[in-house]
Amino acid sequence: MTLALSEPVEDAASRASGSSFYLAMRLMPLNQRQGMFEIYSFCRAVDDIADNGGPQDVQLLRLQRWRADIDAIYAGAPRARLSALARSIAQFGLRREDFFAVIDGMEMDVLGTVTGPTWAQLDLYCDRVASAVGRLSVRVFGMAEAPGLALAHHLGRALQLTNILRDIDEDAAVDRLYLPEEALRGADILTRAPREAAASAKIAAACAPVVARAEYHFGESDQIFASSPRGCVRTPRIMACAYHSILSQLVARGWNAPRAAVKLRRGRLIWILVRCLAL
């Protein structure tokens, strides 16, 4: 098998246009907007590797190449295709360990180590694939160190837990199950086979503690928003409101199969944008 020496080049703004947060990012000043586009483009690229379903050794090799690419940026020799990312890293002081954490999270998916994970394993996964992205993002937002790290911790976990609850069926279809072992056991769901667990009539009881934990992290995020300069938290506040709306819709819909897909309607998102701008 012949492998390409690098990932395909794609404009960061084009990648970001598919994000639920694209409109929120578009509201930012140009340099911050570009920084967020670059972070999103990186995350999308490594996530695509984890989700492509190819041979595991190839996926791991491609993720390792991304580690080498990030190392090259910090060594002052960025690949030409990552010159814009390198500029954002320099401008906002983005940290190498946060990029590596995201890659480590994708590797957990490739290796299948988060199928019916313990709460501790799930929290580590959320930290890597979501809160690490938050740690990169809050530096672009211009937040002070302590509240920025706290927001990354709580909002990253709130968003990722909401994703997990929203995507139960989609994940099960590709043999993934992120509901924690303790919650499954507490609901008397003994199987860890993703499709069987997702189809269980007892799944509502397994989702309930995940909902509670997501609500806790949303609540902690709200307190940070309230005590932070409004200009710094406008974009993450929009993200939080959008995802909290999705969580509320999921709870209102219920968990019994067959589950209707829940999406944030464009009109609802625009209302959230207007409300957050008014705040």
Q: Confirm whether pTM is higher than 0.95.
A: no
Distance of alpha carbon 249 from alpha carbon 195, whole angstroms? 23
Q: Quick one: tokens of 129?
A: 């694939």
pLDDT tens column, 163-193: 999 999 999 999 999 999 999 999 999 999 9
pLDDT tens column, 85-129: 999 999 999 999 999 999 999 999 999 989 999 999 999 999 999
Q: Quick one: tokens of 148?
A: 């920025």
Q: What is the DSSP letter of 257?
A: S
Where does 112-279 sit in CATH, by number?
Answer: 1.10.600.10
* Domains of the chain by residue range: 10-95, 112-279
pLDDT at position 24, please? 74
pLDDT at position 279, please? 62
pLDDT tens column, 72-83: 999 999 999 999
pLDDT tens column, 31-81: 999 999 999 999 999 999 999 878 999 999 999 999 999 999 999 999 999
Q: Which is it for the CA torsion 25, 133, 220, 181, positive or negative?
A: positive
